[in-house]
Amino acid sequence: MKSVKDIRLVNVLEASHPEDHRTQAIAFWKSKKAILKEAVLKQRASELVMVAYDGETLIATSTAAKSKVKLLNNNWLYQYRCFIDPDFRVIGFDYHLTQQSLNTLEAVAQQDADHPIGVITIIENPRLYNNKVNDAAVWRSYKMYFIGYNTKGQPIRVYYFKGAMI
């Protein structure tokens, strides 16, 4: 990969053969030791939103699971996760993957009877919450708002869809 432009993103929710991407994602997570338990691998694969390729090599995934969030008045939100191969963590790639995922989830939410109001994410990577830029109350590039910490001390952020009401 020479730049972010070399990366091919695939929307798994609209893919003609989503099972192929799910199978590749499971192999990818196992090879990177990101997820090891079979039950979690299968569940997470069913939650795939986007996958990213450098040529034919899978280098990143994003997933989302719809859940009711007590902290936000029991509204439905998508719990978002992404994992990028450490060898492909270049400036701008995480933004590219996440922004496409947010756009996809917002479009899906418009058709969802539960009316999800946004995306919630727990920042698990300590490198993303131990510096001035990432400690900001609002991540301006994503419009993600800091709303507190979980029991592990990890920051929680939320992105609201247009017209969301809490």
Rounded average pLDDT per 10-residue block, the chain, 166 residues: 79 97 98 96 98 96 97 96 94 92 97 97 83 78 91 94 90
pLDDT at residue 126, as a whole number: 82
How far is 144 from 22, CA to CA, in rounded Å? Answer: 27
Q: Which residues are bridge partners to 54 per DSSP?
A: 7, 57
Q: Which residues contact 124 (CB under 8 A, 6 or more apart)?
A: 154
pLDDT at residue 139, as a whole number: 85
162-to-33, 63, 105, 119, 141 alpha-carbon distances in Å: 36, 21, 12, 12, 16
How far is 119 from 136, CA to CA, in rounded Å? Answer: 18
Task: Quote the pTM value.
Answer: 0.92
pLDDT at residue 2, as a whole number: 59
How far is 53 from 1, CA to CA, in rounded Å? Answer: 10
pLDDT at residue 39, as a whole number: 97
pLDDT at residue 119, as a whole number: 98
